[in-house]
Amino acid sequence: MLGVTSDIQDEEWIKYYVDPLDDKNKTILQKIMQPDHNVIIGRRGTGKSSLMARAFIECLYSLKEKRTELNLRLAKRKRILPVFLNMKEVWDPSAPYSDKLPYVMKSIFIAYFLSKIWISLNSNGIVSILNWKDRILGKTKKKIETLISKLINPDFIPISTGKTIFKEIETTTKNLGAELSLTNLSVQDKVSTKGENEKSTVAESIIIDSISEIMNELIELLKEYHIDACYIFFDEFSEIPDFHQEFLEKNLLEPYFILNYRLFKAKIAAYPGEYSFVRLDETRELISIPLDFVELYGDVSKGLKQCYEDAKVHAITFTESVIKKRLEHFDLSVELDEIFQDPTTALEYLFLTSMNVPRNIGHILYKCAEKKPVPFTNNDLKSAAIENVERWMGKDFIKKITQIYGNKEEEIMALWVKLMSRVMEQKSGKRGDEKVPQSHFWVDSNLSYRLKILEGTFLVLRIGLITPKDLEGVKVPGISKKYDVYVINKALCDRENLIFDFNTKVLARNRFDYSDIFQPFEVRCKNNHKIVNEDQIMESKGGRFCRICFDEFDKKIPIIENIPNLKDLETDPGIDKKVLKDANALVKKSQGLYAKFEIFEKKHNFKLSPVESELIVILNDEKSLKNKEIGDKMEERMNPQQVRRLIEKINARAIAFKLPQIISETPVKNLTNEFIKLLEKI
């Protein structure tokens, strides 16, 4: 993951980058450099950030007077200004201000957004080429400082929160050589007397004006420096909440990128199914660039087997290219047969266990190198891949899933338990005496969105479409004949001694239809219409909406699904008890402090005071704290600087919510004895 544009100035990125399409006349880099709005779709580690970094450098080359022939072809003889924004750095969901009112969160979000634009415009690569330091240090700097000061307005932003944000932006920009001065006289120690509705109206107006102002400022810069276009790279777009995604779509992407200014092109990196576009049409305004290997290399019109085999050949070639490129990058003159005892088998195994994700390839080879010198045997790779998949399925795995997909630990694990219980049933022969592969299965295409979480963690992968045997040659109006086919990670199959084989004739049997596993208990829309069949669900631009509401009110009302959790599975006779036990243990270990307190409250009828609730939220977010030590005990696990930082964070949050300060130095204040005893037990 890239942080700031200073990370991608180095021209070594050109040597480091490996294009997934090994065709000089048709590359992914060429696609992203086209004057289109793009959504680059891929799971973590597929190379979205690397692609953006490479495109960023290509844009920098377009600004230089001397350009290479390659650059002239990719930039189409246009001067393109690149702006790189890591959205994960724009919004921190664990920050003490991230659960406030919507207009407060929008104001804070846009303030940080503007600061990141400023940092990108000040990157050494851009400044040295355009020689515009005096210009942006004057007018542009003043405009951004003014806009941020207006956004963090004491009329609707708590004073302590505003001061914290100013300090953080000033410190971050200073450390990156682009300091903003945000000491503003309007931030006084007084509380606003405006009502919530008035605050919201004022804030929304300032937010919209700020977006307009910064876009106009960019237009002026482009004209003044004779720049033809501006590509804005939104990396880690899925890391920000849905409401921020939809807000950017409505107030930035649609009015400024799509409708008005042809100068701007949006390049958005997102996880599959984890981006919320309601207004924009991916087939028209947004051009998708998939990085997962089946979508990238396969052709579903050729049928499942041929589609997969073609994609597999290209994916293995890419795996080989990545390894060779990394060796070249680190000046290692080593051939593949010096690294692998059997290069052909090794490359195929790396493809099957990494699922063609460069980051996963690196993790597996790193684990091999930790244990023994080259050449690596097939057993070495197998051991490393199993260790890697166990890491995904460990305590850290659920934490990462929670970070990406929200608080869905039990829902995710319930799906996983149901899937693995069915797989174990296949393995035991309970579904037939014949020994069949357990590595592949298929699901009704209408339910495939439910597997995005498991795909995002590399446990399963969609590899194509299939027509079940009982539907071959049958035409049923309104019923899709196609089902999505998935493969379980090869390393996981090796770990559980599952038969791994891709036999399309065997796979087409109904015993491999796992659709029932992923059916929710109940589906309703937010207007409480009960959804009884898929015909009542309308899919549009990445969302699922109630067709009843759309037909009656011409409104897109999202549907809500009642998803089973682990407790619901305890009485299910089809569930493997060992798989369920392991899942429960894993979830329990991964539970945060707040979740544990919620359980305790219900069980013992214990109610947290407002002060204690705020403290728990903060302690839950504090990664360096071990979820049970406060006061004097903090120093046993944290150094004095960490303790002071935590105390400042707790007190800032308490002041923002008009609560007493919770901790002063190390003694504990304003906490009940029962609460302190409870902390010691957890």
Going by pLDDT thresholds of 50, 70 and 90, the confidence category of residue 504 is: confident
Of 71-85, 119-133, 289-303, 349-363, where does the model show the most confidence? 349-363
Residue 234, beta-bridge partner list = 85, 268
Going by pLDDT thresholds of 50, 70 and 90, the confidence category of residue 269 is: very high
Q: According to the model, what pLDDT value does residue 322 have?
A: 92
Average pLDDT over residues 593-606: 60
Domain boundaries, the chain: 30-291, 297-392, 398-521+563-584, 591-681
Contact 516, 492 (CB under 8 A): no
Q: 145 pLDDT exceeds 90? A: yes
Going by pLDDT thresholds of 50, 70 and 90, the confidence category of residue 384 is: very high
Please tell me which residue, 432 or 342, carries the higher pLDDT value.
Answer: 342
Residues with Cβ within 8 Å of 256's Cβ and at least 6 positions away in sequence, in order, are 211, 215, 264
CA dihedral 422→427→429→433, nearest 10 degrees, is: 130
Of 87-101, 201-215, 486-500, where does the model show the most confidence? 486-500
What is residue 497's three-state secondary structure? coil
Going by pLDDT thresholds of 50, 70 and 90, the confidence category of residue 593 is: low
Phi-psi region of 9 (alpha: psi -120 to 50; beta: other; left: phi over 0): alpha
- Looking up tokens 């022939």, which residue turns up? 69
Q: 396 pLDDT exceeds 70? A: no
Of 30-34, 168-172, 566-570, where does the model show the most confidence? 30-34
- Looking up tokens 């014949």, which residue turns up? 434
Average pLDDT over residues 644-668: 51
Q: According to the model, what pLDDT value does residue 647 have?
A: 56
Rounded to whole angstroms, the Cα distance separating 86 from 77 reads 27
Contact 162, 652 (CB under 8 A): no
Q: According to the model, what pLDDT value does residue 441 have?
A: 94
Average pLDDT over residues 91-98: 60
Name the phi and psi angles at 369, rounded to 5.
Answer: -65, -25
Average pLDDT over residues 28-39: 92
Residue 486, beta-bridge partner list = 441, 462
Q: 675 pLDDT exceeds 60? A: no
Contact 679, 594 (CB under 8 A): no
Going by pLDDT thresholds of 50, 70 and 90, the confidence category of residue 21 is: confident
What is residue 304's three-state secondary structure? helix
Buried b (16+ CB within 10 A) or exposed e, 610-627: ebbebbbbbbbbbeebee
- Cis peptide leading into residue 375 (ω within 30°): yes
Q: What is the DSSP-derived secondary structure letter of residue 512?
A: G
Phi-psi region of 458 (alpha: psi -120 to 50; beta: other; left: phi over 0): left
Q: 630 pLDDT exceeds 60? A: no
Please tell me which residue, 574 or 674, carries the higher pLDDT value.
Answer: 574
Structure confidence by residue, pLDDT tens digits, 125-135: 888 889 898 88
- Helix or strand (DSSP H, E) at 180: none
Going by pLDDT thresholds of 50, 70 and 90, the confidence category of residue 535 is: confident
Going by pLDDT thresholds of 50, 70 and 90, the confidence category of residue 232 is: very high
Q: Among 99-103, 492-496, 663-667, name the one with the lowest average pLDDT.
A: 663-667
Contact 514, 443 (CB under 8 A): yes
Which among 208, 103, 195 is positioned nearest to 157, based on CA atoms?
103
Q: 99 pLDDT exceeds 80? A: no
- Helix or strand (DSSP H, E) at 365: helix 358-371
CA of 656: how far to CAs of 22, 49, 191, 664, 666, in Å? 54, 36, 11, 16, 21
Q: According to the model, what pLDDT value does residue 406 have?
A: 57
Q: 72 pLDDT exceeds 70? A: no
Structure confidence by residue, pLDDT tens digits, 402-415: 655 555 677 788 88
Q: What is the DSSP-derived secondary structure letter of residue 44?
A: T
Structure confidence by residue, pLDDT tens digits, 236-265: 998 888 888 888 888 888 888 776 667 899
Q: 436 pLDDT exceeds 80? A: yes
Burial of residue 214, with CB atoms counted within 10 A of its CB: 0-12 exposed, 13-18 middle, 19 or more buried: buried
Residue 171, beta-bridge partner list = none
Q: According to the model, what pLDDT value does residue 522 have?
A: 66
Q: Which two tokens stand for residue 572?
A: 């299910």
Q: Which amino acid is at 560?
A: I
Q: According to the model, what pLDDT value does residue 597 have?
A: 60
Which among 405, 427, 388 is positioned nearest to 579, based on CA atoms?
427
Would strands 264-270 and 286-290 be described as parallel, antiparallel, or unpaired? unpaired
Q: Among 33-37, 255-259, 520-524, name the one with the lowest average pLDDT.
A: 520-524
Q: 40 pLDDT exceeds 60? A: yes
- Helix or strand (DSSP H, E) at 466: strand 460-466
Structure confidence by residue, pLDDT tens digits, 176-209: 888 898 865 344 444 455 677 888 888 889 999 9
**Strands (E) located in 66-185:** 80-86
Going by pLDDT thresholds of 50, 70 and 90, the confidence category of residue 518 is: confident
Structure confidence by residue, pLDDT tens digits, 215-226: 999 999 999 999
Residues with Cβ within 8 Å of 9's Cβ and at least 6 positions away in sequence, in order, are 60, 123, 124, 125
Q: What is the 3-state secondary structure (H, E, C) of 580-634?
A: HHHHHHHHHHHCCHHHHHHHHHHHHCCCCCHHHHHHHHHHHHCCCCCCCCCHHHH
Going by pLDDT thresholds of 50, 70 and 90, the confidence category of residue 544 is: confident
Q: According to the model, what pLDDT value does residue 622 have?
A: 47
Q: Among 86-95, 111-120, 230-239, 634-643, name the one with the lowest average pLDDT.
A: 634-643
Residues with Cβ within 8 Å of 365's Cβ and at least 6 positions away in sequence, in order, are 323, 350, 376, 384
Q: According to the model, what pLDDT value does residue 284 have?
A: 65
Rounded to whole angstroms, the Cα distance separating 53 from 17 reads 9
Structure confidence by residue, pLDDT tens digits, 306-344: 989 999 999 999 999 999 988 887 777 889 999 999 999
**What is the chain's Cα-based Rg?**
27
Please tell me which residue, 622 or 338, carries the higher pLDDT value.
Answer: 338
Q: What is the 3-state secondary structure (H, E, C) of 385-414?
A: HHHHHHHHCCHHHHHHHHHHHCCCHHHHHH
> Percentage of the chain surpassing pLDDT 70?
71
Average pLDDT over residues 417-445: 85
CA dihedral 652→654→658→659, nearest 10 degrees, is: -150
What is residue 576's three-state secondary structure? coil
Average pLDDT over residues 149-156: 85
Average pLDDT over residues 285-302: 87
Structure confidence by residue, pLDDT tens digits, 448-464: 888 887 888 888 999 98
Going by pLDDT thresholds of 50, 70 and 90, the confidence category of residue 656 is: low
Rounded to whole angstroms, the Cα distance separating 350 from 358 reads 10
Q: Among 388-392, 404-408, 570-574, name the one with the lowest average pLDDT.
A: 404-408
Residues with Cβ within 8 Å of 234's Cβ and at least 6 positions away in sequence, in order, are 85, 87, 266, 267, 268, 269
How would you list the strands of the sheet with 440-444, edge to edge? Answer: 440-444, 483-488, 460-466
The chain-wide mean pLDDT, for the chain, equals 78
Q: Per the confidence metrics, is the pTM higher than 0.75?
A: yes
